[in-house]
Amino acid sequence: MANCGYVTLPNGRQIHFRAEGSGPPLLVLHPSPQHSGAMGAALNAFSPLCTCIAMDTPGYGWSDAIALETPTVSDYAVVLNDVMTALGFDRYFVYGAATGAQFAAELGKLYPDRARFVMLDSNGHISDEMATRLIDSGYFADVTPRRDGGHLLTYWDMCRQLFFSFPWNSDDPAERLGLDLAPADMTHAIFLRYLLAGKDYAKAYKAALHSEKRAHLDGLNVPSIMTRWEGSPVKNIADDLINMGLPECITVHYAGAGLDARYGVQADALKQQIATQALPSTNAGSLVKPDPSTDLRRTYLCTDFGQLHAYRLGGGSQTPLVLLHAAGQSGGQMLGQAAELAKDRPVWVIDLPHHGGSFDLPEGGTISLDTLATYIQLGLKSAGIDHADFTGRGLGGAIAGKISGNTATAAVPPAHHEDLPDLAPQDDGTHLIRAWSTCRDMAIFHPFWDHRVAAQRDTPLDLSPAILHAKTADMLRVGARWREFMQLELAEAGLSGIA
């Protein structure tokens, strides 16, 4: 299991990573607009050989963005190298897939004494004409939140079609990939990564697109490999690149269609470099360190079952206050309240399990108030917090009460639990609009399943697409288990969480 953490750079920006394995450091770079969570297969292949540091590209996943309107691959490479410096590595290997391959090549060019071996995967040559065609055809679709939630289906179309054609929006039978469409659960996982990238998802994507050409490899002189594998959706542009001739430092490795074949040839090449280059060895567990800063910082709390994503605000010696959110939300929705409270004391805001950036609960396991309270207490203990005050909304309030010894509830009759929508991923993406409509109804009606005039809220409504989008994204993160969490909230906290 990967250990997740953040590196806080001198400019205050935080870069998120997940680390796994032991041995010499290997920087692992993902395709855009996804994040390091997409690199599970690569980590499984390389972690027996190296300490894999799978980094969220700035502006993707949980990493802060670069403060530039149009960043270049060099801008990204500089930040990625800075993070490796902050982690204590003066030399490292680097692997990049698709967009990540362009950053990997740039690291090899800018820092040849540090990026000692470059592994390029799912890369190729895209001519200026093809790049223009992609952009003009709507390859970078507009996903600005809309009042009707239709932008969610645009996201879904992009993710689903990744397995159908390249480019994803092509209708040309000649550009089909000959692959089965991914199951809805897999498409949903990719969709969630796209959501985290947000409306600026194309920034790194475009930077890499304009570098996806033979000329970008000029100046690369460190030992490198390029993998040409039969299962690649960009096999055609990979062949174009190979046919144009590669720098002498790059060796092409050919692999069959399966992932085992793809990562197998890469692991063999990696073993050779490990034997040749004496890079320092470390392990993933040593990389996740507490951040001593008392400013707003995202961090992780550890339990025996996984990591809880948390925000820490304020400081001082007073008893910490812990805020816990409602079912289907995240700690991010409580940061405004937390900032006010943190003026006088340290405040922690924690994403519940299966919410926000926290670990997923095992499939089939029962969700209970006792279990969730235990996870929260274990996480705080890992940060050296044995005593704290607790408060929260909805399910979070019930957990706070459980930990504090206040178990009073105002339960909703079980009959109403059947009115909760099912958000399990569907091939056609209808679960997305169901979630959007539920968030709208929560803003308009109380309770949200009661659509009578008498249930309409009297307070002014905020139905701005940006706010509804953020709430819907949190809800969809919980996904198929949202009903279970809501049922527990209604049973333990009544309607307080959706008030």
Q: Which of 52-61, 236-245, 412-421 has the lowest mean pLDDT?
A: 412-421
Minimal CA–CA distance to 105: which of 200, 256, 280, 247? Answer: 247
Locus of tokens 């060895």: 281
By DSSP bridging, strand 389-392 and strand 321-324 are parallel
Average pLDDT, the chain: 93
d(CA 233, CA 235): 6
Q: 66-89: per-residue pLDDT in tens?
A: 999 999 999 999 999 999 999 999
- What's the pLDDT at 413? 54
Minimal CA–CA distance to 417: which of 485, 490, 367, 478? Answer: 490
Joined tokens for residue 113: 């004494």
- What's the pLDDT at 174? 93
Q: Which of 132-136, 209-213, 461-465 has the lowest mean pLDDT?
A: 461-465
Determine the longest span between alpha carbons in the chain, in angstroms: 75
Write down the pTM of the prediction.
Answer: 0.94
Q: What is the mean pLDDT of residues 12-26?
A: 96
d(CA 462, CA 91): 51
- What's the pLDDT at 366? 82
- What's the pLDDT at 111? 98
- What's the pLDDT at 286? 86
Minimal CA–CA distance to 139: which of 237, 52, 33, 53? Answer: 33
> Which distant-in-sequence residues (6+ apart) come within 8 Å of 441 by Cβ?
448, 449, 451
- What's the pLDDT at 416? 57
Reported confidence tier of residue 317, pLDDT bands at 50, 70, 90:
confident
φ, ψ of residue 466 in degrees (nearest 5): -65, -40
Reported confidence tier of residue 462, pLDDT bands at 50, 70, 90:
confident
- Rg from Cα positions in the chain: 24
Share of the chain above pLDDT 70, in %: 95
- What's the pLDDT at 436? 97
Q: What is the mean pLDDT of residues 341-354?
A: 94
Q: What is the mean pLDDT of residues 203-227?
A: 96
